[in-house]
Structure 1
């Protein structure tokens, strides 16, 4: 579904938000029980719910399946579309560093032989889902169908993603409509590589993973280190996810501890040079859409209001795993949740994780914010 939207990019970094003091609110001692209940509700072979509250971590693991060979919180999990939070931060950092502006035409970077339309699709359009692209390329489904239940994305490599983008002719002017697009963010990854002469995977490692010491995060599988995905009913194992040419949109896999480290960096940008400017920039709204422009997005996150301040989050799923990442500067809380079961209708996993974060009280003891 497409809706009218209002965009602004690139914008100034977010104004300084009050950093929470390192004290704890009433009820913080309930975290082990609340997280254990969330693990049970996930109803997955493996589940981990991890919270950082003012830098103090609580991690609870469990599952319906047998214990894997490593502790569940030390396995790497496929986070699917939550990868976009990493790609968004990467773009913000490249802009903050002066290497890019965000306004570069993607087609020109990718070697288009003829000029794009009157309003070219820019890097910022791709990241903010306003490029006028569908969720997936038109030719994706015929190629993916033979491997639909195992690895459909793996059948659509880099060159096909780029070629599909260069051939696409949108009915809408870029920047005027929002439509969530794995295709667009995948193209962004290839455009960033073309603009810098460095593959997206290497850009991610050099500019984000290494500076943040995310040593247990990578965009590729590693035998013995990764959790194994399962079907909707939690049975029947699935092969490791192959993102094909869509790596920038969904390839990252990480341990719950690395996910918390990533989120904690967003809660304390000043403690993470040289990413401080980018970490602040990804809090800034760049797009408002829907009736009354109620839906707010940054370059990396969905942004919802609470009674105390904004809540930032992104979820993701592969064929056999799910993830939720979110943080709240007003309460100094970050939450990462992962499980090894395919998404199903009326699934409680994301809603449970979101509610845990949204219901946090502020330090002054005000009532929990309603989930919106």
Structure 2
């Protein structure tokens, strides 16, 4: 059996969380350390060729935010604008699922189809909520007919042409080619289905559900799910770095990529993951740090309910990236050093450009 087809091995979930009640104490950074951090962040900003760039770092609760870019300063200061998270929104969705599981509202092992179509027999080996959030459902990255519908708006808002009812219908009609839980394949489709299953299970619209269970409890007052306007939101740009693109409209893919947030709200979100003790959602925050599957050669790729997890010399690093048609984001945190990083920019890069490697290296080295 090759590495590509080796079955994923999910750990029991939900279950008893790891003992992750705090962070390693390494002392608060002094002024000399802070000056070094500012220089590192300024170098990171300079390395990213985008109209607007923000690198926001928290170390043991002490924040350093540096911003810049190739464009003139926008009407809203870069560090106060809201940015599109794209797929980094999945970390919010994973935390919501962990919260609903932790409070007993539902179980991660529930079949998604039964929630979306009550009375439907679950069948043998059904796709569960846990499969959907861990990308082991067997669903493709996008529904089979997505590209045909999206093509007329491919360079503006392709997701807007695929509404919620089509996402649900495509899932219920999908013919499986492999048993759920046997292979990892990243799927925006799967996480979008999860969102609709959660709204069906709770009889609550997605915006209200995420706001009530995640955004408000964590105090994310400037985060939201829809475009706000030029007075609040950053403007994205195409790969050329100069052509603006309209705000993202996600259609039926809200759970997979709708979150917008300011750098400071993103640091608040990440700081809650660093030390869940005494915080709202403490049980869910601990749960999303627990590894639930390993894949690849030697099972070197580790995933939690919401995060990719890589090793460092001192301990694990958790991270997730995201991109829309005109913006990119990187979120990450390291409990071992009490460090969190939120990086955003207003340009959609090619795969080999500097934004993600710069952000990843900065978190890994600090």
Aligned partners of 2:320, 2:76: CA distance in 1, in Å?
Answer: 27
Instruction: Give the Cα separation in 2 of the matches to 1:327 and 1:141.
Output: 35
The alpha carbon displacement at 1:116 in A equals 4.0
Deviations 1:175-208 (A, max 9, x none): 1111000000000000000001112211110011
Matched-pair contact (CA < 8 Å) for 2:21–2:286: no
CA distance in 2, matches of 1:149, 1:309: 41
Residue in structure 1 matched with residue 286 of structure 2 by the alignment:
280
The answer for the alignment partner of 1:211 in structure 2 is 217
In the alignment, structure 1 residue 245 sits paired with structure 2 residue 249: no
- 1:355–1:252 Cα change, 3 Å: same
Deviation string 1:201-254 (CA, Å, 9 cap, x unpaired) is 111100111111101000101012100000112111000000110000000000
Q: Is the 8 A contact 2:79 2:264 kept in 1?
A: yes
Q: Is the 8 A contact 1:39 1:48 kept in 2?
A: yes
1:312 and 2:318 are equivalent in the alignment:
yes
Distance 1:112 1:161 in 2: 17
Equivalent-residue separation in structure 2 for 1:305 and 1:16 (angstroms): 16
Check whether the contact 1:3–1:178 (CA below 8 A) recurs between aligned residues.
Answer: no
Contact between 2:22 and 2:274, CA under 8 Å: does it hold in 1? no
Q: 1:13 aligns with which of 11, 17, 38?
A: 17
Aligned-partner Cα distance in 2 for 1:45–1:328: 28
Alpha-carbon shift at residue 290 of structure 1 (Å): 1.0
Deviations 1:27-59 (A, max 9, x none): 443111111111111110000000000000000
The match for 1:4 is 7
SS at match of 1:314: strand
Distance 2:360 2:145 in 1: 34
SS in 2 for 1:4: coil
Q: Take 1:151 and 1:193, find their aligned partners in 2: how far apart are those partners?
A: 24
Residue matched to 1:180:
186
**TM-score between the two structures when normalised by the length of structure 1:** 0.94
**Gaps in structure 2 of 5+ consecutive residues:** none
After TM superposition, the score normalised by the length of structure 2 is: 0.95
Instruction: Give yes or no for the alignment of 1:235 onto 2:239.
Output: no
State the Cα distance separating 1:170 from its structure 2 match.
Answer: 1.2
The two structures, once aligned, show a CA RMSD in angstroms of 1.4
Indicate the residue corresponding to 2:305 in structure 1: 299
Instruction: Report if the CA contact (8 A) 2:48-2:355 is conserved.
Output: yes
Aligned 8 A contact 1:230 1:341 in 2:
yes
Write the distance in 2 (CA, Å) between the matches of 1:308 and 1:103: 33
Whether the aligned pair in 1 keeps the contact of 2:45 and 2:66 (CA below 8 Å) is yes
How far apart, CA to CA, are the structure 2 residues paired with 1:168 and 1:132? 10
Gaps of 5+ in 1: 361-372
Structure 2 Cα separation of the partners of residues 113 and 206 of structure 1: 28
Please give the residue correspondences for 1:66-81 in structure 2 after superposition, counting only pairs within 5 Å: 66-81=72-87
**1:158 aligned onto 2:161:** no
Offset at residue 4 of structure 1 (A): 2.9
What displacement does 1:115 show? 2.6
Alignment match of 1:259 (pick from 238, 257, 266)? 266
Q: Which SS does the other structure have where 1:15 is aligned?
A: coil
Q: Distance in 2 between matches of 1:49 and 1:316?
A: 15
- Per mean C-alpha deviation after superposition, the further-off stretch among 172-181 and 5-14 is 5-14
| 2:145 corresponds to 1:136 | no
